[in-house]
Structure 1
Amino acid sequence: MEKLSFEIQISAPPEKVWSVLWDEISYRQWTTAFTEGSFYQGTLEEGSIVKFFDPDNNGMYSQVVKNIPNKEMKFLHLGEIYDGVEVPQEWGEATEAYILEENDEGTKLMSEIQTTAEFKEFFEDKFPKALQFVKNLSENQL
């Protein structure tokens, strides 16, 4: 596993950034950095399973291991979804976390990912773009 970290400073309070990250409509907007038409199904309560999809009904499913509103969201990725069918994977501690820290300028948003080598380049390319979308949405939406 490789640990990747990304961060961005956002001129908005943590509550606004959190809303942009997890509200259904804005989630669909910022995740276009990864795949156009991305969405999720399920609740974001700790312990629940959430499914992340592309428009073709492919994606992955994960367990919410931490949800501290306006502070931290962490997922443990369990497997992939092909044409709507869940396929468990042996990824070990494949996690994805979003950490929000309030500061004098607004919010520092950090993302930490534990990933396999095969996805490293993809995330290094896409995550900075995704965080820039979150910044733009957080600073410019009413």
Structure 2
Amino acid sequence: MKTIRKQIAIDAPKENVWTVLLDDNYTTEWYAIFSEGTTAKSDWIEGHRIEFSDNSNNGIFGKIARKKPYEKLSFVYEGFIMNGIEDTESPMAKAYIGSEETYRLTEEDGKTVLSVSCDMDESMYDEMSSKWEAALQRISELAAAV
């Protein structure tokens, strides 16, 4: 497992960036970079479940490990969803259990700096790293338009 680390300076207040990270009106636009039709199912309460799944009922699930509005949001993953069925037993699922995805927002020179870290299987690292570049760019565009 390797950790993807990316960041972008966004010309928008952190409240706008936070909205783009959590609001369904925006998330479906940037989640689509990873897999078309992806949505998040969650009440967005720290300690509660989060599930990301796409049009083919495939995805990943876990819990919200930390939520500090306008500053930090992190997930810890507990397994995959394959054809709508939870998978915690396959070798790939077991490898991802305990992996993390974290978003941090800071202010710097009048901009919001969004930093993302995401644990990733080495076989998918390059592809997902590229997708994160595109996703951060889309988040920036959406936040500037909020």
- Misfit runs of 4+, over 4 Å: none
Deviations 1:93-138 (A, max 9, x none): 3111011001223200000112221221221110000000000001
In the other structure, the counterpart of 1:38 is 38
In the other structure, the counterpart of 2:28 is 28
**Partner SS state of residue 26, structure 1:** helix
**Partner SS state of residue 129, structure 2:** helix
**Partner SS state of residue 6, structure 2:** strand
In the other structure, the counterpart of 1:120 is 125
Q: RMSD of the alignment, in Å?
A: 1.2
Contact 1:10 1:105 in 2 (8 A): no
Q: 2:105 aligns with which of 85, 90, 100?
A: 100
**Partner SS state of residue 32, structure 2:** helix
In the other structure, the counterpart of 1:6 is 6
The correspondence of residues 84-95 of structure 1 with structure 2, limited to 5 A, is: 84-88=84-88, 89-90=93-94, 91-95=96-100
Contact 2:78 2:98 in 1 (8 A): no
TM-score normalised over the length of structure 2: 0.91
Letter aligned with residue 21 of structure 1: L
Letter aligned with residue 135 of structure 2: A
Taking the aligned partners of 2:123 and 2:101, their CA distance within structure 1 comes to 16
TM-score normalised over the length of structure 1: 0.94
Number of residues of Structure 1 aligned to a counterpart in Structure 2: 141
Taking the aligned partners of 2:107 and 2:50, their CA distance within structure 1 comes to 27
Deviations 1:21-79 (A, max 9, x none): 11011000111111121101122211111110101111110111010011111011111
Sequence identity, in percent?
Answer: 28
Taking the aligned partners of 1:82 and 1:115, their CA distance within structure 2 comes to 18
Contact 1:2 1:116 in 2 (8 A): yes
Could you list the runs of 5+ residues in structure 1 that have no partner in the other structure? none
The correspondence of residues 52-71 of structure 1 with structure 2, limited to 5 A, is: 52-71=52-71
Kindly state the Cα deviation for residue 92 of structure 1 after the two structures are TM-superposed: 4.3
Contact 1:94 1:116 in 2 (8 A): no
Could you list the runs of 5+ residues in structure 2 that have no partner in the other structure? none
